[in-house]
């Protein structure tokens, strides 16, 4: 009965693990969830009241597919300030989370057999969304500076039908690494010679724990090739499911039509609440509070890992974002490690999930944003003990 494309339909490993982590007492380094104790609940209470009291009829009614204009204006401004990208509100489409931006990109650009290039490893939610459009994934090797440009060039020169490049240049999921400025510039120079869409997924760019922010690919884009995906999930909260697409007006028009067919528009109420929050409170202050807490959690996790993990475990020291990436010796299978560590009450995501073409079963992704310092101090040594039994 089902369409051919559904043979690529898989639930996310992460979400399956998350279900297991609902057991009480579980220490989970698995999800990419923000710390709920940092949600500005009282402020959101206040703005929800404000919106309903003063704009209730509009906030609970249908709105245009593009999204609530005053929020799009705020986002356009934010694109300039935070991502160096000059754009108009007419280049912003509000989406139901940035996941929807990925899905719409697949729908708009991918014919069966088209090639999607991505960092190796990369975000598995993107694979899930793109896979339904039957592309071929080619993973481009990465190092500490980002995608390896020689490899990218070689692939582009020798591969037909490369349609889309999906990248997370800031504090990547799953590795936590950021691209250097040189790589960003090189990338945009190289792709400018090809008819390729660059999907720049940027949910973590504002969560910087050391160093300066670097210009987004969108800001270096001379040929309107970049589709930038943003989100309020990590800088405010994920429960509203509000993200955005920023693209050229010509491309945005197509995104709007595809969005209309997909779900008409994103919740008016959630859009207005966020708009009102941005107007009445200081999101910078909120982000700054989040950064202070996550920085500490990262530091503690790295410290304990330094002390407790076997020397053969190599791990990233991310300057921002939510994740630490661990590579164990090649003979260790982290799916087996996970089975054991769940028995000890510890969850993480095995690294193999982040490679669209499989393999690489010796890595793991650890999240440091969602667990308290105490849980990190308690959980990491327990995980280390499990790992040691495999080495």
Shortest Å distance, C-beta 41 to its own copies: 4
> Can you tell me the distance from the alpha carbon of 124 to that of 40, in angstroms, rounded to the nearest whole number?
29
Residues 6+ apart with CB under 8 A from 270: 240, 241, 242
* 196-215 positions binding its own copies, by CB under 8 A: 197
Which 33-92 positions form the footprint of its own copies (CB under 8 A)? 33-34, 36-37, 39, 41, 44-45, 48-49, 52-53, 56-65
Q: Which of 10, 121, 29 is nearest to 344 (CA)?
A: 29
- Residue 174: Cβ within 10 Å count: 30
133 binds its own copies (CB under 8 A): yes
Closest approach of its own copies to the CB of residue 291, in Å = 18
Report angle CA 95, 100, 103 to the nearest 5 degrees: 140
Spatial neighbors of 136 by CB under 8 A, at least 6 apart, are 113, 114, 115, 116
Contact between 10 and its own copies by CB under 8 A: the answer reads: yes
**Is the Cβ of residue 20 or residue 314 nearer to its own copies in the bound state?**
20
In angstroms, give the least distance from the CB of 353 to its own copies.
14
Report how far residue 348's alpha carbon sits from residue 31's, in angstroms, rounded to the nearest whole number. Answer: 8
Give SS3 for 150: helix
CB of 350 to its own copies, least distance (A): 18
Specify the DSSP class assigned to residue 354.
Answer: G
Which has the closest alpha carbon to 46: 285, 273, 240, 267? 273
Which residue in this structure is represented by tokens 């945009």?
Answer: 188
Q: Helix, strand or coil for residue 149?
A: helix
Minimum CB distance to its own copies, residue 144 (Å): 30
Q: 27, 30, 129, 363: which one contacts its own copies (CB under 8 A)?
A: 129
Sketch the per residue contact string, 13 through 32, with its own copies: x for CB under 8 A, - otherwise. Answer: --x--xx-----------x-
Q: Show the site string, 269-308: x = touches its own copies by CB under 8 A, - = not.
A: xx--------------------------------------
**Whole-number minimum distance, CB 203 to its own copies, in Å?**
12
- 33 or 149: whose CB is closer to its own copies? 33
User: Rule CB under 8 A: which of 157-196 touch its own copies?
Assistant: 163, 195
Which of 80, 264, 285, 312 binds its own copies (CB under 8 A)? It is: 264
Pick out residues in 221-240 that bind its own copies (CB under 8 A).
233, 237-240
Sheet strands side by side (includes 314-315):
314-315, 323-327, 363-367, 349-350
Q: By CB under 8 A, how many residues form the interface with its own copies?
A: 78
Distance of closest approach, residue 6 Cβ to its own copies, in angstroms? 6
CB of 289 to its own copies, least distance (A): 15
| Cβ–Cβ under 8 Å, residues 206 and 173 | no
């Amino acid at each position: 009965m089902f369409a051919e494309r559904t043979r690529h339909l898989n639930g996310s490993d992460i979400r399956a693990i998350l279900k297991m982590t609902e057991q009480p007492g579980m220490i989970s380094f698995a999800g990419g969830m923000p710390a709920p104790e940092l949600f500005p609940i009282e402020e959101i209470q206040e703005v929800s009241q404000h919106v309903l009291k003063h704009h209730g009829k509009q906030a609970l009614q249908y709105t245009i597919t593009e999204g609530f204009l005053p929020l799009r204006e705020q986002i356009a401004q934010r694109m300039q300030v935070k991502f160096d990208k000059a754009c108009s509100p007419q280049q912003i489409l509000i989406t139901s989370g940035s996941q929807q931006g990925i899905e719409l990109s697949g729908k708009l650009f991918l014919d069966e057999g088209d090639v999607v290039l991505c960092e190796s490893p990369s975000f598995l939610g993107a694979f899930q969304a793109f896979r339904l459009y039957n592309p071929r994934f080619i993973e481009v090797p990465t190092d500490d500076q980002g995608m390896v440009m020689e490899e990218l060039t070689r692939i582009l020169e020798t591969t037909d039908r490369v349609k889309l490049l999906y990248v997370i240049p800031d504090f990547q999921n799953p590795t936590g690494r950021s691209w250097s400025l040189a790589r960003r510039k090189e990338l945009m120079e190289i792709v400018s010679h090809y008819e390729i869409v660059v999907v720049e997924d940027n949910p973590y760019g504002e969560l910087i724990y050391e160093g300066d922010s670097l210009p987004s690919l969108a800001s270096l884009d001379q040929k309107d090739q970049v589709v930038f995906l943003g989100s309020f999930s990590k800088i405010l909260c994920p429960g509203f499911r509000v993200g955005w697409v920023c693209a050229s007006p010509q491309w945005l028009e197509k995104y709007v039509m595809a969005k209309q067919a997909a779900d008409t528009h994103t919740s008016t109420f959630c859009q207005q609440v966020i708009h009102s929050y941005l107007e009445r409170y200081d999101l910078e202050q909120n982000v700054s509070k989040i950064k202070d807490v996550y920085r500490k959690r990262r530091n503690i996790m790295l410290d304990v890992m330094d002390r407790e993990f076997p020397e053969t475990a190599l791990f990233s020291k991310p300057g921002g974002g939510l994740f630490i990436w661990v590579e164990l010796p090649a003979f260790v299978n982290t799916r087996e490690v996970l089975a054991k560590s769940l028995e000890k009450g510890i969850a993480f995501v095995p690294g193999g999930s982040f490679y669209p073409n499989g393999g690489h079963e010796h890595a793991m992704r650890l999240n440091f944003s969602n667990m308290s310092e105490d849980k990190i101090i308690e959980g990491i040594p327990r995980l280390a003990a499990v790992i040691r039994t495999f080495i």
